[in-house]
Homo-oligomer: A and B are copies of this chain.
Amino acid sequence: MLTIGQLAAYVGVTVRAVRHYHQIGLLPEPGRDASGYRRYGPAAVVSLIRIRTLAEAGVPLSRIARMLEADAPAFAEAVRKIDADLREEIERLETSRERIARLAAGDSLALPPEVTSYLDRLREIGVTERMVEGERDGWILLVARWPDRVPAMMPGKLAQLDDPRIVRLYRVLSGAFESDAADDPRLEEAADIMAEMAEEAYASGETDFDEAAAQDDLPFDLMDALAVEADPRATRMLDLMRERGWARWTRMDRLPEPPSR
């Protein structure tokens, strides 16, 4: 007759594990000796070995009891189920590994490479780091909403950077938000550029965003709010744009009627 420690040592598990199997009813409680110690016979050793064999094969403890008393076809069916579960779990972990590998490679979190290279271009043309981070967060919001559509719109955005007015716009905004002035006059210039370009785009029917994006205001509301949160002076920009007949900032919409001034 073995003590619990001897049993555990024979099978290669911890004492705690054996007691756990008792608790959940997987291994029957053996008799006790005079001093209350559990005493195990050889059949318990065999049972425990069989339990561990299944557990080490990835069978959840809750299913082991049923499997041990199953007949051959039921056993085979259970094995298939377990194996499918294991495969699924492995699958999930593999996906995680791919994702983390991409995280290690990319510049920033939660952004596809097309967007990070757009951000790099912004840095090159002299946009301040603070503003690039604001852009980045805006793109994060867009990508979360349309993970598949965003990469497709990046070539157009990159092309826009060839227009000297856009470059000028970004630089003017960078400067304005970097200064200490509460109401920098450069904001007016920026608003003029934006209104002009919005006018052109509107006239030619061009748009950065597709149908779905045009219906769904939330991401753009969030992006506008993000700018305001980052620098309250962004509110002023929104006002200036509204004066010029344009609602919003990050996706400009023509206001229904001339602004009341």
Find the B residue at minimum CB distance from A111: B53
| Stretch from A41-49, A114-122, A163-171, A182-190 forming part of the interface with B | A41-49
User: Do the beta carbons of A93 and B103 come within 8 Å of each other?
Assistant: no
Chain copies in the assembly?
Answer: 2
Assembled-state Cα–Cα distance A81/B203 (Å) = 54
In the bound complex, residues from chain B placing their C-beta under 8 Å from that of A145 are 10
In the bound complex, residues from chain B placing their C-beta under 8 Å from that of A229 are 41-43
Interface of A is mostly: helix
Q: Does A214 lie at the interface of the complex (its beta carbon under 8 Å from any beta carbon of B)?
A: no
Selected from B53, B56, B93, B110, the residue in CB contact (under 8 A) with A89 is B93
In the complex, chain A residues 116-145 whose Cβ is within 8 Å of any chain B Cβ:
137, 140-141, 144-145
Chain A interface, number of residues (Cβ within 8 angstroms): 48
User: Do the beta carbons of A99 and B57 come within 8 Å of each other?
Assistant: yes
User: Do the beta carbons of A101 and B89 come within 8 Å of each other?
Assistant: no
Q: A97-B87, A140-B46 are in contact. Are A79 and B103 (CB under 8 A)?
A: yes
Q: Does A109 lie at the interface of the complex (its beta carbon under 8 Å from any beta carbon of B)?
A: yes
Assembled-state Cα–Cα distance A229/B54 (Å) = 24
> Using a CB–CB distance below 8 Å, which chain A residues touch chain B?
10-12, 41-43, 45-46, 49-50, 53-54, 56-59, 68, 76, 79-80, 82-83, 86-87, 89-90, 93-94, 96-97, 99-101, 103-104, 109-110, 137, 140-141, 144-145, 218, 222-223, 225-226, 229
